[in-house]
Amino acid sequence: GMATPLSGMKQSNNALQVAVDNTPENPLDNPRIETIFEYMKRVHHWKIGVVTDAFLVDATPAAAQAHNRSRGQYFNLAQQMIGHFADGTAQPLAGYRSLAALNQPLDVLMGGGAAHWMKEGNPELKTFYQYAKGGRKDVDLVTDVAPQKGYTVVRNLEELKSAPNGKKLLGIFSGEFRPGSSGLGPDNVPGTLDRLVARGAARIRGKGASDPEIQLDLPPPQGTGCGATSGECFRRVPMKAEMVEKAIDVLDALAGRNSGWMLLVEQSQSDKLAHILEYERSTYEVIELDQAVAAVSRRLAKDKRSLIVLTSDHAQPQTIIGVAMPGASTSGTCFSTTQGRYPITLGGTDGDRPCALQDAVATFNDASFPTYEDRNGDGFPDDPDPEIKLVIEDGGRPTYSTTYRTNFMPLRPSMESGEDGKVTALPALPNPARQPEGLLMTGNMPSRNVKGGANKTSGAVEIAPHTADDVLVSAQGAGANHFAGIYENADIATRLARALGGRPSSGRAGTLGGF
């Protein structure tokens, strides 16, 4: 995770900037670890911000400033991020006055996840953000708290552009709420590819926003507060470069000429879409991150005091295995289940293979160049499914089926069953709504806990996991010489401190790295 690189201290799994104590029943009473973001604001009065396409209280954005034993305590994380401590809420003041006194609220926040910030019953939670249920029971941070604390609250691209630069900014945007989609949900901003389709800048298998398969031509399921159609709602969600440009405008204005700022930018959906084996969509996310980095680089090119650091907090088990010509391959009944369960029967007219899709991938000498096009010049492929496309596969995955074509919407790879409101993951069975005519790809993720085995507590793992591969850290600008390779994650905070002019601590109280 991102907690250790931002604080320099190794932490327990699922902890956010705390040293875990012996009272697991209270996730808020653990000794706090100060992050470099908090330090720079507390000591040097810098302005700080986070931009993400995940929900704002997800682990990476929250790691910049919040403190909790459990990363899933979303309601009190949201309060900490804007500095609201009040008895009778998820983040009380009584018993936590020292945490409140040391709190360094974020000055810029942009992402998704309105249900963690708004009170249930707030009509916008349903009609604008498309939550069928959910929300807070204690306080509405968006309506009642953030404005009082000096934040401008924005919900879409138009409001973002018109927001003043001289005020703190809280942007919460709509998520992936299409009823036919699964894997992201209304908490998370729609994927890059899907926003491009909504803007008319891309197509999927030749289909655009007005085609019924994409489900962007329909009214939003819970009301038309964000737009008359789902496509209009998606169109009004800013792209990452648009978010970052505004974040810099605000931080620059708030910091003034004699101070500085730090901004954490997360490309979350490259992770979340990779988890559900949406390979093409995760590739579009990487391109969007690349464009955001380019925008920041251009913006700060003349400022010799600026530093850009780029890294990942983990790797994914994906790799390119060749190319395919999906249009030339025959999809058919490659397998059949027994009333949706095992046994699964592989079948085909050829006794030596289950179906023609077995031969869809070209490798070695036959792995010719793909035929992606970018006719509109926006840096993204116009369609993720050209005549010849790259084929990406996972080293760790649940069972799923594929025709090597892009799904019209994000879809979970494996099956789920629901009863009495409880959803059970079934990672050994493919999702019947996702390319059921495709080739069966048997999974290697566990389907249940095993007594005496390695998978003791995680239960069913219905997604592709993270991997233990080392990740690169690179940088540009003042102090970039401190970042050019692979490092122990706890060393990154120290390297950031050195890049910012820090020296080894002399032991004085209240100092980090001798600033």
Residue ranges per structural domain of the chain: 3-312, 318-441
At 330 the pLDDT is 66
At 513 the pLDDT is 40
Tens of pLDDT, residue by residue over 161-171, are 999 999 999 99
d(Cα 473, Cα 499) in Å, to the nearest integer? 14
At 168 the pLDDT is 99
Confidence class of residue 507 from pLDDT cuts 50, 70 and 90?
very low
Tens of pLDDT, residue by residue over 313-349, are 899 999 999 999 887 776 678 999 998 899 999 987 7
Q: Is the pLDDT of residue 358 over 90?
A: no
Q: Is the pLDDT of residue 251 over 60?
A: yes
At 421 the pLDDT is 72
At 514 the pLDDT is 38
Q: Which CATH architecture is the domain 3-312 placed in?
A: 3-Layer(aba) Sandwich (3.40)
d(Cα 475, Cα 206) in Å, to the nearest integer? 38
Q: What is the DSSP letter of 55?
A: E
At 328 the pLDDT is 77
d(Cα 340, Cα 160) in Å, to the nearest integer? 46
Q: Is the pLDDT of residue 515 over 70?
A: no
At 511 the pLDDT is 38
The overall average pLDDT reported for the chain is 94
At 503 the pLDDT is 66
Query: What are the angstrom distances between the C-alpha of 355 and each of 350, 389, 414?
Result: 7, 20, 20
The burial of 430, by beta-carbon neighbours within 10 Å (0-12 exposed, 13-18 middle, 19 or more buried), is given as: buried
pLDDT > 90: what percent of the chain?
A: 86
> Is residue 404 left, alpha or beta, with left meaning phi > 0 and alpha meaning psi from -120 to 50?
left
Stretch 500-514: mean pLDDT = 53
Stretch 272-295: mean pLDDT = 97
Q: Under a CB-based contact definition with an 8 Å cutoff, are residues 54 and 60 in contact?
A: yes
Residue 105 preceded by cis peptide, ω within 30: no
Tens of pLDDT, residue by residue over 112-152, are 999 999 999 999 999 999 999 999 999 999 999 999 999 99
Q: Under a CB-based contact definition with an 8 Å cutoff, are residues 40 and 260 in contact?
A: yes
Stretch 275-282: mean pLDDT = 97
Q: What is the DSSP letter of 141?
A: I
- At residue 15, φ and ψ (nearest 5 deg) are -90, 150
Q: Is the pLDDT of residue 378 over 60?
A: yes
Dihedral of CA atoms 74, 468, 186, 150 in degrees, nearest 10, equals 50
Query: What are the angstrom distances between the C-alpha of 152 and each of 84, 156, 169?
Result: 16, 12, 5
Query: What are the angstrom distances between the C-alpha of 23 and each of 3, 69, 297?
Result: 21, 10, 45
- 363: its two tokens: 């490798």
Q: Under a CB-based contact definition with an 8 Å cutoff, are residues 378 and 363 in contact?
A: no
Tens of pLDDT, residue by residue over 62-88, are 999 999 999 999 999 999 999 999 999
At 153 the pLDDT is 99
CB crowding 360-369: b at 16 or more within 10 Å, else e: bbbeeeebee
Q: Which helix (H) or strand (E) holds 318?
A: strand 318-324
Stretch 202-210: mean pLDDT = 98
Of 348, 445, 345, give the one whose Cα is nearest residue 395: 445
Tens of pLDDT, residue by residue over 471-490, are 999 999 999 999 989 999 99
At 354 the pLDDT is 83
- 382: its two tokens: 């116009």
Stretch 355-367: mean pLDDT = 90
d(Cα 320, Cα 393) in Å, to the nearest integer? 6
Of 138, 134, 135, give the one whose Cα is nearest residue 92: 138
Stretch 182-194: mean pLDDT = 97
Q: What is the DSSP letter of 144?
A: I
DSSP 212-229: GGGT-SSPPTT-SSS-SS
Q: Which helix (H) or strand (E) holds 427?
A: strand 422-430
Handedness of CA 422, 427, 429, 432 (dihedral sign): positive
